[in-house]
Amino acid sequence: MLDNKTISELYQAFAASPNGFLIVDSGSPSFAVLPYKAYKALRQSQANSSKKINKILVTGGAGYIGSHTVRLLREQNYEVVVLDNLSTGRGEAVGDAKFIEGDFSDRDLLDRVFLEERFDAVMHFAASIKVDESVANPAKYYESNVVGGINLVNAMVKAGVVRLVFSSSAAVYGEPQISPIGEESVCHPTNPYGETKLCFENILKWYSGAYGLSSVSLRYFNAAGALPEAGLGYNRSLDHTHLIPRVLDAALGKTSEIEVFGNDYDTSDGTCIRDYVHVLDLAAAHILALTKLETDSGTHIYNVGTGRGYSVLEIIDEVMEVTGRMIPMKIGARRAGDPGRLVANSQKIQRELGWKPEYDLKSIIQSSWDWQKQ
């Protein structure tokens, strides 16, 4: 028991250092005195960091990659709560997961959700994702991808939830110096979208050291494909920018032709090369990332791509092959900010997590075609 004098001295010390302080004996610290809330969160995070993961918060779980991952999580009997503001997602895509409509700019909502549900981990998909929009309106991207992300991790730390899988992007690399690109390559994003993803990766690194938050950032290459039989795919009314949905629109006659953005790149046929990875392979990478966090703390980064690149013309050829339709095309100017070649070196995730892409380009295009026709 402490006497009244000691207690009053402690109160005074707390008034001067509200985040806690050390009691130093003969030059070395012997006790840390913490506010009770911080002590509780620390105990909770210690307990959580060694606990098997069962209950997961999925932000953006009604969106394209999020909804496929939610389905896989549910198939594997994880308990899932989706938080999504439905700005681009579809409520029906969350299946039988619990759904909360809301935004992580709402800090009170986040605190409430973390208090009411006791999560073992978080998957953070929710983000603004359009490169050209990010150049025109960077404020929106800093707000949702950085400020929103900080709100989320702060709520996690407060609640003692210390494991996070984050949807990062190959856009963090910018114009690659070497191809295929490994995780150790320098990151020089060429647009605010990539910049905000890199910024949040860095926040996670610092939060790991200071607050014990462990994370896996998955740098996606070109997510594509769908699961039409489960009613899952990209948002057909919104996705008017990506290559495969656009080529399929031309195949369906919804648009008169596909414009190829530049054929003067330093590639075999002069058009841009990308690494297209099936959304179900991406979903599988998320589950493996969760498993990693059950045994390993710290900050981890993995590329998720197949290691095989296809040019724009090869994609158009494959779409003609799968759909059996002629696709009118014209060669246009380069699109600003497009690197000529973006192909993943994904050996690290294959080696460390045992991930292996199961779907090839044909199944990516076939599933997208079935989805787009529906």
Catalytic residue, candidates 78, 141, 173, 193:
193
Binding residues for ligand UDP, total number by CB under 6 A = 14
Asked if 335 is part of the footprint of ligand UDP (rule: CB under 6 A), the reply reads yes
Asked if 312 is part of the footprint of ligand UDP (rule: CB under 6 A), the reply reads yes
Q: Which is nearer to ligand UDP, 274 or 300 (CB)?
A: 274
Give me the half-sphere count of Cα atoms (radius 13 Å) on the Cβ side of residue 93: 25
Distances (CA, A) of 361 to 229, 357, 358: 18, 11, 10
* Rounded Cα–Cα distance for residues 68 and 233 (Å): 8
Asked if 317 is part of the footprint of ligand UDP (rule: CB under 6 A), the reply reads no
Asked if 232 is part of the footprint of ligand UDP (rule: CB under 6 A), the reply reads no
Q: Is 193 a catalytic site residue?
A: yes
Asked if 338 is part of the footprint of ligand UDP (rule: CB under 6 A), the reply reads yes
Asked if 222 is part of the footprint of ligand UDP (rule: CB under 6 A), the reply reads yes
The 10 Å CB-count burial string (b at 16+, else e) for 123-137 is bbbbbbbbbebbeee
- Nearest-5° angle of CA 224, CA 270, CA 173? 55
Asked if 344 is part of the footprint of ligand UDP (rule: CB under 6 A), the reply reads no
Asked if 261 is part of the footprint of ligand UDP (rule: CB under 6 A), the reply reads yes
H/E element holding 294?
helix 279-295
Backbone angles phi, psi at 190, to 5 degrees: -105, 10
* Rounded Cα–Cα distance for residues 97 and 100 (Å): 10
Q: Which is nearer to ligand UDP, 17 or 241 (CB)?
A: 241
Backbone angles phi, psi at 29, to 5 degrees: -65, 130
Residues 271-310 that bind ligand UDP (CB under 6 A): 272, 274
Asked if 250 is part of the footprint of ligand UDP (rule: CB under 6 A), the reply reads no
CB of 193 to ligand UDP, least distance (A): 9
Q: Which is nearer to ligand UDP, 219 or 246 (CB)?
A: 246
* Rounded Cα–Cα distance for residues 9 and 303 (Å): 52
- Nearest-5° angle of CA 45, CA 50, CA 51? 90
Asked if 133 is part of the footprint of ligand UDP (rule: CB under 6 A), the reply reads no
Which position among 246, 286, 300, 341 is part of the footprint of ligand UDP (CB under 6 A)? 246
Asked if 177 is part of the footprint of ligand UDP (rule: CB under 6 A), the reply reads no
Residues identified as active-site: 193
Q: Binding residues for ligand UDP, per CB under 6 A?
A: 222, 241-243, 246, 258-261, 272, 274, 312, 335, 338
